Amino acid sequence: MKSPVLLYIVIAGLLAVLGYFLLPAQTMNANQALALGLVIGGILTPLLASQFLRQSSSSTSTDNNEHSDSKTLYVGNLPYRVNEQDVKAHFAPHGTVISVRLMKDRRTGKRKGYGFVEMVGDTELIVRTLNDTEFQDRTLKVRMAKDKQEE
């Protein structure tokens, strides 16, 4: 469960049900048991959610460390009909492809004819090898991607 709100609702409901069945009937009614469950759930949920978020962020940072030596290539003049798998298959013989991002027009959703390939390997050699080569009847333009400028 990734949503802290959903986690809160589930914990509160379970605690309310447990409180209702475990405590003697004369001690509290169903509404009081639910209220107690919500209070206890409100205390426990942030603790559980922070533990969950800590675990998921540590696994993400591990994944990023595995590909710390990867580089991103700009690939231009791509056919508009091409998809990520096609580009990955074209670049895979030259190194390990981490990801492929093909740019789309936000308004129309159509591909713009360029994208980025994140790879591990000798990216300078890959650029020299694949730049100005034919791919699905188009001549690719492959360059080292520039860092995104902060505005």
Residue-wise over 75-84: b if at least 16 C-beta within 10 A, else e?
A: beebeeebee
Instruction: List, for residues 103-119, the tens digit of each pLDDT value.
Output: 999 999 899 999 999 99
Q: How far apart are CA 112 and CA 114, in angstroms?
A: 6
| Domain covering 71-144 in this structure, CATH number | 3.30.70.330
Supply the pLDDT for residue 61.
Answer: 44
- Give the residue from 28, 12, 9 showing the smallest Cα distance to 20: 28
Reported pTM:
0.55
**What is the residue type of 29?**
N
- Give the residue from 111, 114, 119, 106 showing the smallest Cα distance to 135: 114
Instruction: List, for residues 67-111, the tens digit of each pLDDT value.
Output: 668 899 999 999 999 999 999 999 999 999 999 999 999 999 899
Token look-up 């469960």 returns 1
Residue extents of the structural domains in the chain:
4-66, 71-144
Instruction: List, for residues 116-151, the tens digit of each pLDDT value.
Output: 999 998 999 999 999 999 999 999 999 999 877 554
Residues forming a β-bridge with 74 = 116, 143
